[in-house]
Each structure stands twice: as structure tokens, then as C-alpha cells.
């Protein structure tokens, strides 16, 4: 089946630095990928839709200059959290569209802690 690999699984960074999270579709091409954020005990919040070769579409309230998304190839999308602050600490999950039967295949998530 389709596999989405997300890296790193966890990262700790200092306030003010930037962190890049990678999301790869391993055995299929993904023209569209999605980035989610999950706060403790809360639902998945869609942050943005990543489209290969074009600009990402951000959900309302998500700062596009803070959460930079690049989808340069059909198998790779990256999320860069710029000038990270402690309130950016969260669990970030990417997903790729894998057809109507299964909807999305999700990556394993990245736990970001900003200290």
C-alpha cells in the first residue's frame, strides 16, 4: 500500500531558529499533500494544502510567512517553521491523497518542541 514517510519524528529547537519537516510519498506520486497540526487532546487542524509546482493554499488563520511550504517534486513536500516560538510546539502531520477509497495516507508525524 501507499506509504508516506515523515522526518524527523521529533525535534527540539531553540526559540528564534527554523525547523524543516519533510514529507515523502515513497511508492506513489502525490500532486497534493496536506499539513496538519494537532494540539494535545484536540482534533487535526488543517494548516495548508501543498500543491506540486505551485503555491500552497493556507487555511484561514495560518501565517504563511511563518509556516513555509514547498512542494518541489511529486514525492516531496516540506514544512519549514520559521523563527520558532514555544507556542509553535505541537504535533505536525502530513498526508497525501491516495484515492477516493482510502482518502489520505498520513505520515507518522513530527513532535516539535521549541525551548
Partner 1 sequence: DQQVKQNSPSLSVQEGRISILNCDYTNSMFDYFLWYKKYPAEGPTFLISISSIKDKNEDGRFTVFLNKSAKHLSLHIVPSQPGDSAVYFCAAFQGAQKLVFGQGTRLTINP
- Interacting residues toward partner 1 by CB under 8 A: 4, 6, 9, 32, 41-44, 46, 49, 91, 93-95, 97, 100-109, 111
Q: What is the smallest separation between the CB atom of 81 and partner 1, expressed in angstroms?
A: 18
Cα distances (Å, whole numbers) of residue 92 to 1, 36, 67: 22, 6, 11
Query: What CA–CA distance (Å, rounded) separates 86 from 7?
Result: 20
Q: List beta partners, residue 111.
A: 10, 91
Which CB sits closer to partner 1, 25 or 105?
105
Which CB sits closer to partner 1, 14 or 41?
41
Amino acid at each position: 500500500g501507499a506509504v508516506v514517510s515523515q522526518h524527523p519524528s521529533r525535534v527540539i529547537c531553540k526559540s528564534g531558529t527554523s525547523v524543516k519537516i519533510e514529507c515523502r510519498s515513497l511508492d506513489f506520486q502525490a500532486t497534493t499533500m496536506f499539513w496538519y497540526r494537532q494540539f494535545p487532546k484536540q482534533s487535526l487542524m488543517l494548516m495548508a494544502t501543498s500543491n506540486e509546482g505551485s503555491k500552497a493554499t493556507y487555511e484561514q488563520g495560518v501565517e504563511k510567512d511563518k509556516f513555509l511550504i514547498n512542494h518541489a517534486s511529486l514525492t516531496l513536500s516540506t514544512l519549514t517553521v520559521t523563527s520558532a516560538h514555544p507556542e509553535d510546539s505541537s504535533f505536525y502531520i502530513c498526508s497525501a491523497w491516495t484515492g477516493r477509497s482510502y482518502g489520505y495516507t498520513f505520515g507518522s508525524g513530527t513532535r516539535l518542541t521549541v525551548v
